[in-house]
Structure 1
Amino acid sequence: MIMIGLTAINVFSVTALQQYLMYQDNVQTTQASLGALKDAKEVQLEEYFSVINKDIAILAESDVVKNAMQDFGAGWAALGGSQTAQLQKLYIEDNKNPTGQKDNLDMASDGSIYSMVHGKYHPWLHKFLKEKAYYDIFLISPNGDVMYTVFKERDYATNVMTGEWKDTDLGKIFRDVKANPKADYVGFTDFAPYAPSYDAPAGFIGKPLIQDGRFIGALVFQMPIDYMSNLAANADGMGETGASYLVGADHLMRSNFRFSKESTILKEKVDEEGVVLALQGKEGVILTTDEHTGEKAYMAYAPIDFHGTRWAYIVEQLQSESLASYHEV
């Protein structure tokens, strides 16, 4: 009887050990898979940012853009004063295209030097913007005059040093670029509501325009958040409960959340441990409690840095789905 009892205990112990080892193997596999998925998505985001860097570098170094800056300056001066009122009337108020399509006007019919310059350069810059899916492109003079924009909103023809929008991120990025007049400098402001665009989330990236060693103005792109959000939140390979998203230093989401019916961009705050760790520059995989469901979830986290701005990138999946194969056994 004793031998039978000992044999039963040994069998039980071996079975329990096998189950434990199987569970640990499953956990390690899950963590590795989630980490690999995070790495793959992180590469996609970094490739997107690399394209943006190349786009603005190419335009800032282009003779076409530098000549445009000089020509718009001449046209601006020839208007003789009250440029904001004159140009907003020509290219916004009297522009027959509806709001959101004011960029379809190549040249106003006033016969001014400015409008001739606009007719020369706008089709090229407009095409570039459409092909690259930027929201807007700005040419800003050394003293802060927004001498040209593609999209034609209320920031057009204003001054970002002294005017209505001087305290917006467009004013901030211009002052940053003006303070760093070096050909290789790139400035960036994180996504935030932008009043001239009806408070749509906008990020700005800018470079100095340098000609013969002189700062002749700033080239600025207004970046829409939708493409970045779609990349970050892509659910491919995430299963039924998985989600991925970006979070800013203010802990507000910079992408939409897969399971939310409403937009979460700049609205939903995330204070989970993985976010805190990623914003500290760390990366890894942890088991945590999901804020949305209250259930246990595996969370892969990593920092993503872009010109001085850091975001936390999160990829998570509920533990119940991650370890489903183990529980089936």
Structure 2
Amino acid sequence: MAGTATRVARAGLLKASVPWLALQPTAKFSTLRDMTTTRKAVLGVMGVLGGGAAGMVYALNESVKASELELHCTTFPWPHNGYFSSFDHASIRRGYEVYKNVCAACHSLKYVAFRNLIGVSHTEAEAKEEAESVQITDGPNEEGHMFQRPGKLSDYFPNPYPNDEAARAANNGALPPDFSYITAARHGGENYIFSLLTGYCDPPAGVQLREGLYYNPYFPGGAIAMAQALYNEVMEYSDGTPATASQMAKDVSTFLRWASEPEHDQRKKMALKALMIFPLLIAISYYIKRHKWIVIKSRKFAFKPSSK
């Protein structure tokens, strides 16, 4: 009690005798507090205005887009889409014929070799004949010159143009993409390719296309530099299948899917083998585990009292 009274008295004495020790807010501190409050208010207003302006710009930008004119491709029931389904190899062969007779004039397939056709769509003799039907630039020879020779199984499909500049010059400035991984590089895969090849139509009212462009609602933007290439009976299949536009689009889409994923069938075959052997391996593992650990788990320790 005495100590408490002493501390209270000292505090009152100091407060009475030394007024400047009292912690009272000064004008300077009040000014700083007002400035901080004002700054927060200004920043808040600027944030609200900036967010509103950004939202308005985004809304205006979306309102002028003709997104309703772009169609999303349909998912078609491809026979190779099943968990353990393989490619239709007859369709791959027909798709190769479509690529060779229609697409190869503009689009390269530089990551696929003629030997890759063996056992998939052609026999070794047929693949060799296909390779020898093209001329491959090779060299230099002993005189230092490049020369042309018939293709071999180890050769890759030749590029229709010597370089990208020549390709652009022949296609009004547009560069035809390589088809090696086209289905893996496009959203929708073979569904997109099929929809694109069969989706050419007249532009809707209000859409103006410059010269050299064609309208396809499945192509981003709608304006595509590639003209419609597939028409009914534009070629003949070697197996006698009617060469309708949709049939050719389906076959070349299957061929391009195979070109993008040539290990497709082997991967699914390996997965099927793994699933078939896993139950046996699990049973053997369980038996070994029980055989090895049953003695340890059933072991009992007994301590005998000392004889002393």
TM-score normalised over the length of structure 1: 0.25
TM-score normalised over the length of structure 2: 0.27
Q: Which has the higher contact order (CA 8 A, sep 6+)?
A: 2
**Which structure: greater strand fraction?**
1
Question: Over alpha carbons, which structure has the higher Rg?
Answer: 2
